[in-house]
Amino acid sequence: MGLTAVRPGRLYDEVVAQFEALIASGEWAVGTKIPPEPELVAALGVGRNTVREAVRALEHAGLLEPRRGDGTYVRATSDLGAAILRRARRTRVEHVLAVRTSLERDAAAAAALHRTDADVVAIRAALEARRAACAGTDRSAFAAADVAFHRAVVAATGNPVLIDLYAGLSEALQHTVSEIDEHDDDPAAFPGHEELAEAIVAGDPDAARAAADRYLEAARTIMARSERSGS
Output Rg (C-alpha) for the chain, integer angstroms. 19
Nearest residue to 171 via CA among 20, 65, 28, 31: 31
Alpha helices, DSSP H only, in the chain? 11-25, 37-44, 48-61, 79-88, 93-114, 117-135, 139-155, 160-182, 193-202, 205-229
Q: How far is CA 141 from the centre of its chain?
A: 11
Q: Percent of the chain beyond pLDDT 70? A: 89
Alpha helices, DSSP H only, in 26-92? 37-44, 48-61, 79-88
How far, CA to CA in Å, does 215 sit from each of 8, 43, 101, 211?
53, 45, 10, 7
Q: Please state the rounded mean pLDDT for residues 134-161.
A: 88
Q: Please state the rounded mean pLDDT for residues 183-211.
A: 87
Nearest residue to 177 via CA among 215, 212, 137, 213: 215
Q: Residue 81 — pLDDT band, cuts 50, 70, 90?
A: low
Nearest residue to 57 via CA among 93, 25, 19: 19
Nearest residue to 153 via CA among 104, 102, 207: 104
User: Would you say 42 and 2 are in contact if contact means Cβ atoms under 8 Å apart?
Assistant: no
Q: Identify the pLDDT of residue 1.
A: 57
Specify burial of residue 188 (Cβ count, 10 A radius: 0-12, 13-18, 19+).
Answer: exposed
Q: Which residue has the higher pLDDT, 175 or 216?
A: 216
Q: Residue 138 — pLDDT band, cuts 50, 70, 90?
A: confident
SS3 64: strand
Q: Identify the pLDDT of residue 139.
A: 79
Q: Which residue has the higher pLDDT, 221 or 156?
A: 156
To 10 degrees, what angle do helices 160-182 and 139-155 make? 150
Q: How far is CA 164 from the centre of its chain?
A: 12
Q: Identify the pLDDT of residue 25.
A: 82
Question: Largest Cα–Cα distance in the chain?
Answer: 60
Q: How many CB atoms lie within 10 A of CB 81?
A: 23
Q: Identify the pLDDT of residue 7.
A: 60
Q: Please state the rounded mean pLDDT for residues 161-189.
A: 74
Arithmetic mean of pLDDT over the chain: 85
The pTM score is: 0.68
Q: Residue 141 — pLDDT band, cuts 50, 70, 90?
A: confident
